[in-house]
Chains A and B, each alone.
Chain A
Amino acid sequence: MRLDFVRIFVDSTTDLFQEVVGPVATVNSLSVKASPVAGRDVLTIIGLVGESEGRVIFDMDLFTAVQLAGCMLGEPSPGMTPLVRSSIAELASMAIGQAISKINDNGIQLSMSPPIVITGTNLVSYDKCFETLVAPITTAYGEVRMNITIQDLN
Chain B
Amino acid sequence: MQRLEERSNGSDVPLTCLIVDDSAFARLHLKRLIDSIENVLASEAANGNEAITEYRRLKPDFVLMDIIMPGLEGVETVKRICQSDPGARVIMVSSLSHRDKVAEAMAAGAKYFIPKPVTTVELRKAIDSVLGSAKN
Binding site for B on A (CB under 8 A): 16, 19-20, 69, 72-73, 82-83, 86-87, 89-90, 93-98, 100-101, 104-105, 112, 114
Docked CA distance A100–B116 (Å): 13
Docked CA distance A86–B30 (Å): 14
Given contacts A96-B95, A98-B97, 13 further A-B contacts (CB under 8 A): A87-B25, A89-B23, A89-B25, A90-B23, A93-B23, A95-B95, A97-B68, A97-B94, A100-B98, A101-B97, A112-B68, A114-B69, A114-B70
Residue of chain B at shortest CB distance from A16: B117
CB interface residues, B 15-41, toward A, < 8 Å: 22-26, 28-29
Query: Closest CB-CB distance, B113 to chain A, in whole Å?
Result: 12
Docked CA distance A101–B70 (Å): 19
Please tell me if the beta carbons of A83 and B68 are within 8 angstroms of each other in the complex. Answer: no
Q: Which of B24, B99, B100, B117 contacts A94 (CB 8 A)?
A: B117
A16 / chain B contacts, CB cutoff of 8 Å: 117
A87 / chain B contacts, CB cutoff of 8 Å: 25
> Can you list 28 A-B pairs, Cβ within 8 angstroms, ordered by A?
A16-B117, A19-B117, A20-B117, A69-B25, A72-B29, A73-B25, A73-B28, A83-B25, A83-B28, A86-B23, A87-B25, A89-B23, A93-B23, A94-B95, A94-B116, A97-B94, A97-B95, A97-B97, A98-B95, A101-B97, A101-B101, A104-B96, A104-B98, A104-B101, A112-B68, A114-B22, A114-B69, A114-B70
